[in-house]
A and B are shown apart, each in its own frame.
Chain A
């Protein structure tokens, strides 16, 4: 608290009281009104029964863990393997998409930071930013066109004689993974770029000079420097992928359900906001636990993400 007061006083003396109040107000609104309050409301929702309007505030309106119990055990007595399976599958898919992005973006970020210059570098950055101009739904449908039975990929593949009958990329989730990986490439590239850029070029040359192969230069010199960037990029991509709705809705195979789709169904189709809120909370907490555990495994400190 005293640290906050010191920051406020420092800002007031340097930029004036008006600026200090504006910044303090903006931060307060940002954190409390836009983040904490709705989440607390959701948490409150998730701990209540789904009651008809007339009974709200009545004797039956009490706190309960029923919605969370439902995720674990369903309405019956056995385990709710269906919903838990969806969560596990969503995580596996999100981890896979994150991995794809790491593999794609590490070389791009390295080249951007240490080889590309002038026009080439600027073109690369523009090429990375443009996907962000296109909205989610349009992008998803574009990938449907691309990977559909009569789509561009199948057209080219069949014309080249690589395969005879159209491949169902949608059912195989190729379209979905491609779209998600494509969407969040920028997050990953810039995170890794920020870390790799700080690397002194001489260190690469020194390692080369001492006889290291390119593989070893990256493993021992570049990758350790890139690690915090990879961690922060992976966290973002994983969270965003696990929380994506439009792409799985449009590109997901008929048998494959994303956990966000379950949440959406509770809120919208079932009209059960309480259970939807509980499922949202489960997704958030599961995501956080997964990310922290992964960072433990790869020995990245939480603070490194802020770098």
Chain B
């Protein structure tokens, strides 16, 4: 069974400090939903609010259509997986997993049976009698998930559960988490500051900054069509070029920039007045070198350095004093960029570039 979660104009304040400012969204049952943002953006507070450890100062949290006001964390259909997992070190692995069942008064034999089933599911059969400290980081991770699932929740809340793992394991666990989610079909609400995790696993992502949800959308929209400068620069690498609006035709905005006249798509479908200060965001992989002389939507740049990462080559460019990065795939025999001033003509696809007003915040995006 799955339940949806609705945040109805939720604000959370601690004294004069606003941790979460007017969060308003709904998460569908069975969805893998991520809150993505830098540390201190309020995402953990929001998660603790959904799980019941923090009360909203304003607004309501609804789970399955039911107002969760005055419903304690032990009475909610949610299970929280903590950043440091919070496994009980003095209990065995099986006792840890069966803890939610013990709470409900399930008998010892049935508890053990269920724990063994869950251990089977997380591919750790036969480890029930071990102590938690005898397991590796990734195994503990899976035990924490099993323990949360043993509670038979409708919604699983995950607070950066992969952050303690090393890179390889983290990438492996991403796939695993997604697979578990699809197998059990529960609503997963995932908190992370790692955009890679958010983009690879989620059905939808909410990007948070300073307590405000700046954009909600599927990973592709978040990456390709950011609605605020924060989302554009926080999610993935990007180049930002300041300029002033010359004209707008439909969604295409033309800017006067230090690199010449460049155009892009208006982010969030805004209308820009001529003369308004804007930023043009172009992803490094959208830039390309061109053999011809600069024309429309292209400019000259110096190549200052080159990084070779195997599959990808990154060029550090400088154009009219602005540092830019260009990424290209190693599609068999890359020629090194020719050094020297003004030696390269750089082009991009104006359909893939985004124009956003400078200093745009979430209010403008909403």
Chain B positions within 8 Å of A225 at CB level: 90
Chain A positions within 8 Å of B90 at CB level: 224-225
What CA separation (Å) do A213 and B103 show in the bound complex?
8
Is A221's beta carbon under 8 Å from chain B?
Answer: yes
Chain A positions within 8 Å of B336 at CB level: none
What CA separation (Å) do A38 and B53 show in the bound complex?
58
Is A69's beta carbon under 8 Å from chain B?
Answer: no
With A211-B75, A211-B151, A213-B74 as known contacts, state yes or no: A206 contacts B103, CB within 8 Å.
Answer: no
- Chain B, residues 71-104, CB within 8 Å of chain A (1/0): the string is 0111100111011101110110000000110111
What CA separation (Å) do A7 and B155 show in the bound complex?
55
Is A117's beta carbon under 8 Å from chain B?
Answer: no
- Whether A206 and B80, one on each chain, are in contact in the complex, defined by CB atoms closer than 8 angstroms, is yes
- Whether B100 and A211, one on each chain, are in contact in the complex, defined by CB atoms closer than 8 angstroms, is yes
What CA separation (Å) do A208 and B74 show in the bound complex?
5
- Whether B151 and A205, one on each chain, are in contact in the complex, defined by CB atoms closer than 8 angstroms, is no
From B74, B82, B151, residue with most partner A Cβ within 10 Å: B74
What CA separation (Å) do A200 and B83 show in the bound complex?
12
- Whether B78 and A209, one on each chain, are in contact in the complex, defined by CB atoms closer than 8 angstroms, is yes
- Whether A209 and B147, one on each chain, are in contact in the complex, defined by CB atoms closer than 8 angstroms, is no
Number of interface residues of A (CB under 8 A): 17
- Chain B, residues 303-334, CB within 8 Å of chain A (1/0): the string is 00000000000000000000000000000000
Is B240's beta carbon under 8 Å from chain A?
Answer: no
Interface residues on B, range: 20 to 34
Contact of B82 among A206, A212, A220 (CB under 8 A): A206
- Whether A200 and B103, one on each chain, are in contact in the complex, defined by CB atoms closer than 8 angstroms, is no
- Whether B99 and A210, one on each chain, are in contact in the complex, defined by CB atoms closer than 8 angstroms, is yes
Task: For residue B118, give the distance in angstroms from its CB to the closest CB of chain A.
Answer: 14
- Whether A203 and B88, one on each chain, are in contact in the complex, defined by CB atoms closer than 8 angstroms, is yes
Is B51's beta carbon under 8 Å from chain A?
Answer: yes
What CA separation (Å) do A216 and B53 show in the bound complex?
18
What CA separation (Å) do A161 and B72 show in the bound complex?
42
**CB<8 Å pairs between A and B, sample of 18:** A205-B53, A205-B80, A205-B82, A206-B86, A207-B88, A207-B99, A208-B74, A209-B53, A209-B79, A210-B99, A211-B74, A211-B100, A211-B151, A212-B99, A213-B103, A220-B88, A221-B88, A225-B90
Known: A208-B72, A210-B147. 12 other contacts (CB 8 A): A202-B86, A205-B53, A205-B80, A206-B80, A206-B88, A207-B88, A209-B80, A210-B79, A210-B103, A210-B151, A216-B103, A224-B90
